[in-house]
Each structure stands twice: as structure tokens, then as C-alpha cells.
Amino acid sequence: MSNGMKLILLIAELVTVGSALIVAINPNILYSAVFLLFAFLGVAVMYLFAGADFLAGVQIVVYVGGVTILILFAIMLTQWLYRLKLKDIGSKFVIPGVVLALGLVPFLHRGLTELGKMIQATPPEKMAEFAASPKTQAIGKALLGTHVLPFEAITILLLGALVGAVWLARPRT
């Protein structure tokens, strides 16, 4: 991979982290949602560089086209125009939040270093070949072959979620 490509990946990672930071700490919920969109885009680019081209497309279609729109829609429906109450970080939880979130760091560090010892290094040429191969067909075959059971379970889950969401949001009779 050329240095230019690596630079693009680095920028995508920085955008992801920076946007996630704004999502977490910006008191304005609408800005959080907007920067969540940029975080999703950054993650999609990271997927692309990890050889997951199909997943990157799915990530954008589902998250940017679906989830973000739904979230923005819900924000705009519930925080109606002239009753703006967008500031919403509960002050009494900030200290415990920081402590708990930072308390995770040693655990994550320990776990990841242990994992790092277990990984046997994949040969770089195999990795490059995997990253360059198109995935759509392979994923399709896997979904209807070896992974057909989770696939069917997901379809039932999606149907249930669809019906449940419609039932929950129905107008009050």
C-alpha cells in the first residue's frame, strides 16, 4: 500500500476518533448526531482499507441512510422548534462517567496485549491478497451456505423489529 493510501486511512481514523469525541461530549444533541454521521463515514473508510468493500457500502447505506436519518428525525420531532432543550449532559453523572470510562483503559490494554501475543502473524502477501479480493460473492455464498442459520435468524429479527416498531409508534386510539 502506498504512503498516500496510508495517509487517507490515517485521516479516516482521525476523523472517526474526533467525531466520536464530539458525539460523546458535545452538549448539543443535534451536533452529536451530525458528528455521529461523520464517525460512521470514517468507520466505512476503515472497513474499505481492511478489505471489506461490501461491508463499507452496507455501513453507509444502513447507518448514514437509515440510522442517522431516523435519529435526526426523532430529535427534530421531540425537540420542537421553539422549545429547544438541546443541552442535555447530566452534570451529576460526568465524574462517574469519566471514572468508569477511563477505568476501562487498563482492562482494554491488558486484554489487547494478551490477544496480541496469541495472534500468529499472517503473512503479508496473504493479507494483501485477502484485502484485494472482492467480497460480495463470497459473502453471499457464505450467507446462504455455511452461515444460513444466523442469516435466517436475522431475517426473523428484522421482521419482528419492523412489526414491533410500527406497533409501538402507532397513533394512540
Partner 1 sequence: MPANSALFAQTLTQWTQGTWLATVPLWAWALVSALIIIYMLALPFGGIATYIERKIAADMQDRIGPNRVGPFGIFQFAADAIKMISKEDYVPPGGDRFLFNIAPVLVVVGSCAGFVALPLGQYLVAGDINIGILYIMAVTTLIAPGILLGSWASENKWSLLGGLRSAAQIVSYEIPVALSMLPVILISGSLQVGEIVKQQGWNPADPIHANAHFWNVFHNPFTVIAFFILFVGGLAETNRIPFDLPEAESELVSGFNTEFSGMRFGLYALGEFVDVFVMCALVTTLYLGGWQLPFLELDKFWITLPSGLIALIHVGFFMGKTLLLVFVVMWLRWTLPRLRVDQLMGLCWKGLVPISLFNIVGTAVWMWAFKGQSMIQVLGSLFSGGSASH
Partner 2 sequence: MNVLDFANSIEGYLLVSSVLLILGIFAVLTRKNAIGILLGVELILNAAGINFVAFSKYHSAALEGQLVTLFLILIAAAEAAVALAIILRFYRLKQTIDADEASLLRH
Q: Does 49 bind partner 1 (CB under 8 A)?
A: yes
Cα–Cα–Cα angle for 66, 67, 68, rounded to 5 degrees: 100
Q: Does 144 bind partner 2 (CB under 8 A)?
A: no
Q: Does 65 bind partner 1 (CB under 8 A)?
A: yes
Stretch that binds partner 1, among 12-20, 74-82, 114-122, 141-149 (CB under 8 A): 74-82
Give helix 29-49 / helix 69-78 axis angle, nearest 10°: 180
Residue 87 phi, psi dihedral angles, 5° rounding: -80, 120
Residues 121 to 150 in contact with partner 1, rule: CB under 8 A: 131-134, 136-137
3-state DSSP of 26-66: CCEHHHHHHHHHHHHHHHHHHHHHCCCHHHHHHHHHHHHHH
Q: Are 85 and 75 in contact (CB under 8 A)?
A: no
Q: Does 148 bind partner 2 (CB under 8 A)?
A: no
Cα–Cα–Cα angle for 144, 145, 147, rounded to 5 degrees: 85
Q: Does 48 bind partner 1 (CB under 8 A)?
A: yes
Binding mask 11-50 toward partner 2 (x if CB under 8 A, else -) reads --x--xx--xx-xxx---x--xx--x--xx--x--xx-xx
From the list partner 1, partner 2, none, which binds 69 (C-beta under 5 to 8 Å, kind-based)? partner 1
* Binding residue for partner 1, selected from 46, 50, 64, 143, defined by CB under 8 A: 64
Q: Are 23 and 54 in contact (CB under 8 A)?
A: no
Least distance between partner 1 and beta carbon 37 (Å): 6
* Binding residue for partner 1, selected from 37, 39, 43, 45, defined by CB under 8 A: 37
Least distance between partner 2 and beta carbon 81 (Å): 15
Least distance between partner 1 and beta carbon 146 (Å): 20
CA distance 169 to 157: 18
